[in-house]
Every structure is written in C-alpha cells, then in structure tokens.
C-alpha cells in the first residue's frame, strides 16, 4: 500500500498494490496490520454504500462533534469526483478544498479525517461508492455545506448536477457555525 500526501494535514491518498492476470484483478482495500504500520490506527464501526447515476452529486456532508466521522472512501464500480473541504478552524488549509477522481480502475482510496465536509459527483452510471466510518451516523449531528458555494471554488465538472433537496439547502461556509 502506497501513501500519498495531499497538502492537507491527515488527508491521505492510499494506493493498494493491484494484482492483475487473465482472471481480472485483486487488491486489499483494508488490512488492519498494514494500516497500523502506516500510522492509521482506525477502528471502523460502520460501512456505507451508495449507487448513483451519472451526474448525481452528493454532499458536502459532515457531522458535528462528538459524532464527527473519519471516512475511508473508494469507488468499486465506475468513477467519481471526490471533494472534501477542510472545516478545521486552526488548519493551514481551512476553507480550502481538495478533489480527486476515485475509480474502480485505479482502486485508489482516500482517508478523510474528521473535520472535513465530504461529497462526490458520479461520473458514470451505476457508480458504486463505498466508505468505512469510524463513528456511527447520527441524524441530529448531521450538517451540510452548500456544494455550489462560490467562495469554495469547486469545479465539479457537471453543468446540471442531480442533487437532493437537503444538499440544495446546505449552508455557505461563511454562514456556517463551525463546530471544528
């Protein structure tokens, strides 16, 4: 497993070793021992999966402490543009975003520590997005940053994304009562 820094403290790109042959591919997406050796001692307690049509945009979601979630995210079918926004007030990258294309083909993984808003846009039909969380979902702690906040400057690469009502009602960063 290779680890790549992102320029955002704690936000890491993980690239598993892919084994390919005539049958297809194989890789380890999670191995407790390997992750501990990488300094990522994370206890996962919830797995989530979504299936999205092309141009579906989900996010930018987060949970308030003490229910904030760290997430290990990947795409197991199709591809998605994954975006995070650093909400940690004392971070050098506060208010900035990071984006990466996650895909079945690349098998790349992103570790998102607590303190980030997270979202993604499906770039292909039937994109399967999976994530392991280190805290349980808590609807009372849930919040949403507006995906289209012009101050964030995120280019999602989609002209007319398909979003939920909840995501359209997200808060602009400037209006957010920041819990981090």
Cα separation, 13 vs 2, whole angstroms: 8
Which of the following is catalytic: 27, 118, 131, 137?
Answer: 131
- Would you give the DSSP letter of residue 97? E
Strand positions, DSSP E, the chain: 2-5, 12-15, 19-21, 24-26, 46-52, 57-63, 71-77, 79-86, 97-103, 109-112, 116-122, 127-133, 142-144
Indicate if 61 belongs to the active site: yes
Query: Three-class SS of residue 71?
Result: strand
Indicate if 53 belongs to the active site: no
Stretch (H or E) spanning 165: helix 165-168
Which of the following is catalytic: 4, 44, 53, 61?
Answer: 61
- The catalytic site residues sit at 61, 131
């Amino acid at each position: 497993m290779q680890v790549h820094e992102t320029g955002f403290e704690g936000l890491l790109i993980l690239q598993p070793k892919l084994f390919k042959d005539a049958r297809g591919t194989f890789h380890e997406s999670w191995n407790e021992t390997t992750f501990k050796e990488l300094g990522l001692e994370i206890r996962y307690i919830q797995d989530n999966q979504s299936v999205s049509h092309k141009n579906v945009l989900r996010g930018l979601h987060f949970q308030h402490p003490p229910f904030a979630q760290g997430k290990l995210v990947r795409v197991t079918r199709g591809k998605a543009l994954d975006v995070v926004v650093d909400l940690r007030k004392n971070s050098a990258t506060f208010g900035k975003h990071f984006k990466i294309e996650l895909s079945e083909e690349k098998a790349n993984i992103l570790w998102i520590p607590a303190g980030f808003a997270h979202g993604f846009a499906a770039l292909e039909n039937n994109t399967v997005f999976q994530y392991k969380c280190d805290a349980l979902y808590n609807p009372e702690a849930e919040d949403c940053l507006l995906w289209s906040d012009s101050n964030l400057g995120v280019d999602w690469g989609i002209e007319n994304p398909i979003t939920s009502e909840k995501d359209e009602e997200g808060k602009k960063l400037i209006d957010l009562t920041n819990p981090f």
